[in-house]
């Protein structure tokens, strides 16, 4: 699914003259109106390459051109953030913390060590981790799973998620609204954000590949040393 969405995002420019992720967001927002921002923010949970750092400023810009309503953009985006977080919270609660960690580690997007440290950080900091995490790219979705797996109080989780998401969404939408009369500056800004997203993805994939290569070499070396020691004992 993510491949199809990304292919659509990289297709021809939208009616607003934007291309890439911004053009894709423009098409969705044009077709669905205010609720479209909620759809896009929810998709961010399932398809990380669709970042709110691109979607929300552009939605704020459209609100100043009269196509969308600023207040409803904040409401729909925050509601979608909360619903997406709840789904991952319930996933963590349903399968438990160990299985949740194994499931995420199996995606090869993060290492088991990183996940263990993240869970330990969450367990030390609790609710504040959820609130702050909602404003950290790449952590927004991930933080909901240990929250559910550790059975964090659902009401507290919801409050922290809504507050954190609301603050972050309002900031991003507000930036776009402030630039609403400066079309060219916004276009350049969103273009840079597009490039930043693609570059970050490329770097992440590169780091992941290098990490897996090092782990494979380390495992092969350890196995070789074990076999050598065993052969030495047998000869003795």
Q: Could you tell me the residue ranges of all domains in the chain?
A: 2-212
- What's this model's pTM, rounded to 2 decimal places? 0.66
Highest mean pLDDT among 30-34, 68-72, 215-219, 230-234: 68-72
pLDDT score of 117: 66
Q: What is the mean predicted confidence (pLDDT) over 194-218?
A: 60
- Give the pLDDT confidence of 33-46 residue by residue, as tens digits: 889 899 988 887 76
State CA 23 to chain mean position distance.
19
pLDDT tens-digit map of 179-188: 765 655 655 6
Angle (nearest 5°) at CA 87 between 200 and 63: 60
Buried b (16+ CB within 10 A) or exposed e, 62-89: bbbeeebebebbbbbbbbbbbebbbebb
Output the CA–CA distances (angstroms, integers) from residue 85 to 27, 40, 68, 207, in the order listed: 25, 14, 25, 27
Q: Cα(9)–Cα(54) distance, rounded to whole angstroms?
A: 12
User: What would the two tokens of residue 87 be?
Assistant: 């789904």
Give 116-164 pLDDT, tens digit per residue.
766 776 777 767 888 887 877 766 777 888 888 888 899 999 999 999 9
Q: Is 27:199 a contact under the CB 8 Å cutoff?
A: no
pLDDT at 8: 43
């Amino acid at each position: 699914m993510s491949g199809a969405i990304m292919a659509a995002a990289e297709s021809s420019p939208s009616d607003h003259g934007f291309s890439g992720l911004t053009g894709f967001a423009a098409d969705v927002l044009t077709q669905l109106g205010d609720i479209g921002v909620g759809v896009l923010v929810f998709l961010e949970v399932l398809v990380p390459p669709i970042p709110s750092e691109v979607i929300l400023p552009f939605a704020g810009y459209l609100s100043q051109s009269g196509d969308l309503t600023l207040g409803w953009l904040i409401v729909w985006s925050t509601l979608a953030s909360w619903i997406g977080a709840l789904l991952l919270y319930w996933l963590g609660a349903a399968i438990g913390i160990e299985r949740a960690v194994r499931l995420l580690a199996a995606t090869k997007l993060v290492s088991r060590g990183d996940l263990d440290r993240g869970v330990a950080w969450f367990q030390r900091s609790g609710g504040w981790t959820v609130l702050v995490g909602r404003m950290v790219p790449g952590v927004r979705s991930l933080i909901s799973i240990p929250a559910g797996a550790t059975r964090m109080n659902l009401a507290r989780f919801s409050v922290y998620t809504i507050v954190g998401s609301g603050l972050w969404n309002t900031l991003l939408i507000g930036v776009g609204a402030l630039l609403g009369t400066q079309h060219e500056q916004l276009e350049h800004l969103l273009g840079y954000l597009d490039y930043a997203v693609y570059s970050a993805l490329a770097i992440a994939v590169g780091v992941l590949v290098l990490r897996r290569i090092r782990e494979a070499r380390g495992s092969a070396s350890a196995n070789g040393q074990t076999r050598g020691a065993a052969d030495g004992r047998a000869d003795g």
